[in-house]
Structures are given as structure tokens and as C-alpha cells.
Amino acid sequence: MAVKLDEPLGRVAYVNARILDPAEGWDGPGGVLTEGEKIAAAGPGLFDGGRPDDAKIIDCQGACLAPGLVDIRAHLGEPGEEQKETLASAGRAATAGGVTSLLCLPDTNPCIDDMSVVEFVARRARLLGLTKVYPYGAVTKELAGKEIAELKLLRDSGALAFTDGTRTIADPLVLRQALSYASTFGLVICHQAEEPSLAEGGVMNLGENSTRLGLAGIPREAEIIIIERDVRLVEMTGGRLHFVNVSTAESVDVIRRAKDRGLPVTCDTAPPYFALNEHAIGDYRTFAKLTPPLRDENDRQAMVQAIADGVIDCVASDHTPQDEESKRLPFAQAASGGIGLETLLPMTLELYHNGHVSLLKALDLVTRAPATLMAMDAGHLKPGAPADLVLFDPDRSWKVSSDVLHSKSKNSPFDGRPVQGMVLRTVIDGRTVHTHEA
């Protein structure tokens, strides 16, 4: 369902809130005043002197009011795989999860290696009036890893950054060329690290568990080797490289050392890699088949520690919808991936509830930090910024299940898991696009 974009907006005062803004370090009683599509004022104690007479009042009843979430990694299906997800269904799932801005991956059909596809996705999302969708451009033409795409033209058409999605650029010469070109124009290359020949045929993490289940394994070294290689390429070219879905302890160590040397390297991970381990597969549970695969408990704990230490810069959903026919297959034949837009907030809040990070730090991972990495005007409550807000109760519990998820696909690796953190209201450009009533 689209939101009416011609709906007139005036002044709206969000009062009686616990205001949270990692960008400003705010955590305390306060509020936000919006005017039209922009934030007019925000902060602790904003309405201590009284509420404005000319504004619509929304009483937050003590709930947390924060910048809308920014998700920098989501597969959206449209165009080409609308049976898995559409921009409309993804928009509903995102707004239900408090996500007000997201970057969609270029692995559509046709893929986003052409300016017309960038413009189609952006225009279609604007017409829906739900979560703001910003496309990635492909690094290589047709995501084939052979020839770099027209990166600057894609950027000029609206692509915020560049990636080949889940496909690793195996040829180091091609990635070197991309990084060199990107460095000239200040572009960001995002790369999923998995050495293709080592990972070929594997369906889960290589180890005792894969042997017990009789499944072909993907060694952790498939990720580590590519990250070590890519750091050298960054050193050669000076290009900005962002590693996605980091999942092993050694990968984190390599990235930490690169950062210590001042190289322009950043990274993210997704909730499954700090909240689950390979035992979530159980007896061939295909919802837990992901790319990269779930790792062992030591790696999971290393992801938690790297988030707490700041080596991992942000958290992304890695939302990968798969239809029932793709998942209801023997484990080895089932498609990889799990949905994550609606569980991004509660799973990130687990880091807070378990005492690993503060509430502001947990929110920073999904607001200011990803927005800053991608140079987006989002993830903060500064006056003049877009009025993109999420109101949530960090302690309200619910259970992840297909009955409550808005995504067209239901393949959540957290299916059946009790979680804490309920989105109560999502506001985009001053318009309420989602509410949840008790």
C-alpha cells in the first residue's frame, strides 16, 4: 500500500519520549518537533517550557524516540524475482522494522549495472512512499567479475556505492582496477569475501558439525584469504573498501591491523553472525543456510567482541528473501539466505540486553554509523535533517514467526526465537508509515 505523497504536513511535536541520538550522544527525556518533511528541533528537555500550540501532539508515553534505522545491505527481488520480494513488500517489512533508509543490492534481473535500472528502482520506491531505497551499482558488468562497470555514470544516476553482491571478485586485477578508479572519484567499493574455488560445492561451515551432518563444508580460510588479499590491493591503490558480512575471528584480526595502519578499510556484519552459530542448522534446517555460512561459537563470540571494540563499524540486515520452493528442499540444494529487515532492531538490541554494548552504541550500529559510511543525510536528529524517526520499546518482547512478518518471504534464520525490541511507530519525511498498537 502506497503512502499519499501529497498529504499536507504541518508541525508535529513528539513529546514525553526518551530521546536517543548516537550522533549527538543524547539519551534522556525529551522530544522532537517536525515541520513538514524536516526536523525543526530535537533534544533532551525540548518541551520542558511547554508544548507548541500550533502542532499536532504525539505522546510517546516514555518510549524511545531515535533516528530511523539505516540498512546498507538488502536484496529486494524487484525487478526480476518478484515472487520472492517486491519493493512494496520490502517497504512494508522495512517500515515495520523501523528502517527508514536502505541500500538495495544490484543482483536484480536485469542487474543494476546500467543507469536506467538505477533510475527505475529509485523512482519506483519514491512512488510507493515507504522506506527510502538507494541502489548499489554493480562493480562489474553483469556481476561477472570480468570488466568494471561505468562506476561514475552509475554514481551520477544515484548509486551510492558499488558491489557485486554475494559474488566475490575473484580476479585481483579487476578489483585493483575498480579500487583505483573508485579512488579517483571518492567512491566506496563493498566486497563480500569468499574465495570461489575454496567455497565451491560447500553448503555450511567446514568442521566437525559438517562431517557429522554429511554436508560439504566451506573453510573459514575462504573468507580470510580474500580479505588478506584485498587489504594488499587497498594498500596499492588507496581505494576505499568496505567488507560485508564478516564472519570469522581471523578476518576481524586482519581488518583491525589494516585499520591500525591507517588504510581506508571498514566492515560490517549481520545479526546471524553474532547471534547464531553453525548448530542453528540442527537437523538440516534450511532457514539457517546463509552466505557466508554460520560459523562456530568461537567466531560468533569474536564478532560480538569486534562490535564492542569498534573494529566492526556497523550492522546490516543482509535481508535475502527466498520463496518457499527455494527453501523446502534438501539442505544441499536449498537456496542460501535469510530475511532480516524486521529483526534488525531486536537482534541488534540483544547486544545491549546481553551487556555487550550500551543502548546508544547498539543504535549507532544501525543509524549514524552506516549513514556516515555511505555519506547519507540520515541517522541523526539534527534540525534540517529529514524527519525520519523510529519510536520503539526496547524491552517489549515478541516471537519471530511467519504470522507477524510483513516480508513476502518468511525465511528468517531467527524463526521461533523470542526477542526484545518492538517498533511502535515509523516516520518517514514527517509521515507516519507504520504503527503497532499493543
Tell me the per-residue pLDDT of 411-437, one tens digit each, with 9 for 90 and over.
999 999 999 999 999 999 999 999 986
Q: Is residue 88 part of a domain?
A: yes
Q: Is residue 295 part of a domain?
A: yes
Same domain, 327 and 428: no
Q: Which one has a higher pLDDT value, 127 or 398?
A: 398
The per-residue DSSP string of 337-394 comes to -B--TTTHHHHHHHHHHTTSS-HHHHHHTTTHHHHHHTT-S-SS--TTSB--EEEEEE
- pLDDT band, residue 387 (cuts 50/70/90): very high
Whole-number Å distance between alpha carbons of 34 and 49? 17
Same domain, 293 and 422: no
Give the helix, strand, coil percentages of the chain, each rounded to 5.
Answer: 30, 25, 45
Q: Is residue 257 part of a domain?
A: yes
Q: Is the pLDDT of residue 103 over 90?
A: yes
Burial class (CB in 10 A: 0-12, 13-18, 19+), 337: buried
The per-residue DSSP string of 361-375 comes to HHHHTTTHHHHHHTT
Q: Is residue 381 part of a domain?
A: no
| 284, amino acid identity | Y
Check residue 122 and give its pLDDT: 83
Q: Which one has a higher pLDDT value, 180 or 119?
A: 180
Asked if 355 and 424 touch (Cβ cutoff 8 Å), the reply is no
What average pLDDT does the segment 233-237 reach?
98
Return the closest-CA partner of residue 108 out of 164, 174, 169, 188: 164
Same domain, 82 and 217: yes
Q: Is residue 5 part of a domain?
A: no
Q: Is the pLDDT of residue 161 over 60?
A: yes
Check residue 125 and give its pLDDT: 83
What average pLDDT does the segment 176-197 reach?
97
Strands 132-135 and 431-435: unpaired
Q: Is the pLDDT of residue 370 over 50?
A: yes
Q: Is residue 101 part of a domain?
A: yes
Q: Provide φ and ψ at 68, rounded to 5°.
A: -60, 150
Q: Is the pLDDT of residue 3 over 80?
A: no
What average pLDDT does the segment 240-255 reach?
98
Check residue 240 and give its pLDDT: 98
Same domain, 73 and 174: yes
Q: Is residue 37 part of a domain?
A: yes
Residues forming a β-bridge with 243: 191, 267
| 362, amino acid identity | A
Full domain range(s) for residue 311 = 69-373
Asked if 158 and 134 touch (Cβ cutoff 8 Å), the reply is yes
Same domain, 209 and 259: yes
What average pLDDT does the segment 261-290 reach?
97
Distances (CA, A) of 201 to 49, 248, 350, 365: 65, 20, 33, 33
Check residue 78 and give its pLDDT: 85
Same domain, 38 and 166: no
Same domain, 83 and 49: no
Predicted confidence (pLDDT) per residue in 351-363, tens digit: 999 999 999 999 9
Check residue 1 and give its pLDDT: 38
Q: CA 137, 141, 147 angle in degrees (round to 5)? A: 120
Q: Is residue 108 part of a domain?
A: yes
Number of structural domains (the chain) is 2
Check residue 17 and give its pLDDT: 97
Domain of 430, CATH number, reads 2.30.40.10
Predicted confidence (pLDDT) per residue in 61-101, tens digit: 999 999 999 999 999 988 888 999 999 999 999 999 999 99
Whole-number Å distance between alpha carbons of 414 and 400? 6
Predicted confidence (pLDDT) per residue in 25-67, tens digit: 999 999 999 999 999 999 999 999 888 889 999 999 999 999 9
Return the closest-CA partner of residue 422 out of 320, 342, 351: 342
> Which residues are designated catalytic?
318
How crowded is the C-beta side of 235, counted as CA atoms within 13 Å? 12
Q: CA 175, 181, 187 angle in degrees (round to 5)? A: 95
What average pLDDT does the segment 325-342 reach?
97
3-state class (DSSP) for residue 90: helix
pTM above 0.75, yes or no: yes
- pLDDT band, residue 438 (cuts 50/70/90): low
The per-residue DSSP string of 161-218 comes to SEE-TT-----HHHHHHHHHHHHHHT-EEEEE---HHHHTT--EESSHHHHHHT--EE
Same domain, 227 and 342: yes
Percentage, residues of the chain above pLDDT 70: 98
Whole-number Å distance between alpha carbons of 154 and 136? 9
Mean pLDDT of the chain: 95
Tally the residues of the chain.
438
Question: What distance separates the 2 farthest-apart alpha carbons in the chain?
Answer: 68
Return the closest-CA partner of residue 166 out of 57, 20, 50, 319: 319
Asked if 97 and 53 touch (Cβ cutoff 8 Å), the reply is no
Same domain, 210 and 140: yes
| 100, amino acid identity | T
Same domain, 47 and 166: no
Whole-number Å distance between alpha carbons of 321 and 75? 7
Q: Is the pLDDT of residue 218 over 80?
A: yes
Percentage, residues of the chain above pLDDT 90: 90
